[in-house]
Structure 1
């Protein structure tokens, strides 16, 4: 049936068929004549070229000074072996939730039973310094509190009850920008440069 319709069309509209064939040939030749699109060379982002901070031995400091890193390790190990209620307060973005998951697994691998671990996600627009957030964290009655990727500033203790607190972060903060009696470990002053970035070839 389809073949019959095509034959009838060619018989009654021969000029149209010929014109369409010629036009399609012109289109294909024009497409073949197009030149390949050129792309500008890839630029290395400024943050890849940032000068890295080094210690007195010339070693690169990243993500934080070694004494701070050791303090964080000791805090995590102490928490795991204490076998007491532990609260993780991660930010809601990708790096906050990822760090929370890594910390939870680390504590479990070291030996902290999962029943001691709780996670609290702050309400939208709130911070760990708000009265409502402090009350919510206190409701878990934690002995250890980990605040991850939430930023930090000088403030009252995370909760009023006795506890141990640590702020692990990368946002800008000075040495004393942390809740009272909490340890601050931040990477904000110690950029990490990707040494391979300077050798990235331009895109084809």
Structure 2
């Protein structure tokens, strides 16, 4: 599934890149980059449900890494795509360990408010789809041999929820010319991730009702670095 998503993302990046060249003029910028994002998720309801049943609460802060692309056309319009994989911290008590992970794919569209030769400032709106996963396993299973010895607990429990996402965001880009690599790109974005539509929970792939109201929401700041094409 992850390979499929990466292939799809690569195709979409190629399409966006090709679109940029198809309007061929010198008033365009096309950038591919890597990203890091830190986000504080709203997981209070989920943590209350976990604690009530004796499971360790999860950390609301998550790190994510990803890849992205954007085009700036006529120094007015900015659009692109990006994919993130995020990782929470492991939590453990005397009986259980939990781990929060997830991913999201976002399309972006915005407009340039201000620019100089090397700086672009803009609001941008991201929209897409994401998943949040919680893995639970007994704390006693802390080695490979113990996993093999406990067949009934080998898979643990995987709980998932998914949402459509919307992010109002402010961004600033910096461009630096380099004799070896050409023009380098550095960017900072900050905003708020919202989940206007949520699909509820599945456990080990089976849909269930009555789960805690949990959405992929929270403030974030991201840093990116890459090169112009």
TM (norm. structure 2) is 0.22
Higher helix proportion, which one? 1
Counting strand residues as a fraction of each chain, which structure ranks higher?
2
TM-score, normalization by structure 1: 0.24
Higher relative contact order (CA 8 A, sep 6+): 1
Q: Radius of gyration: which is bigger?
A: 1
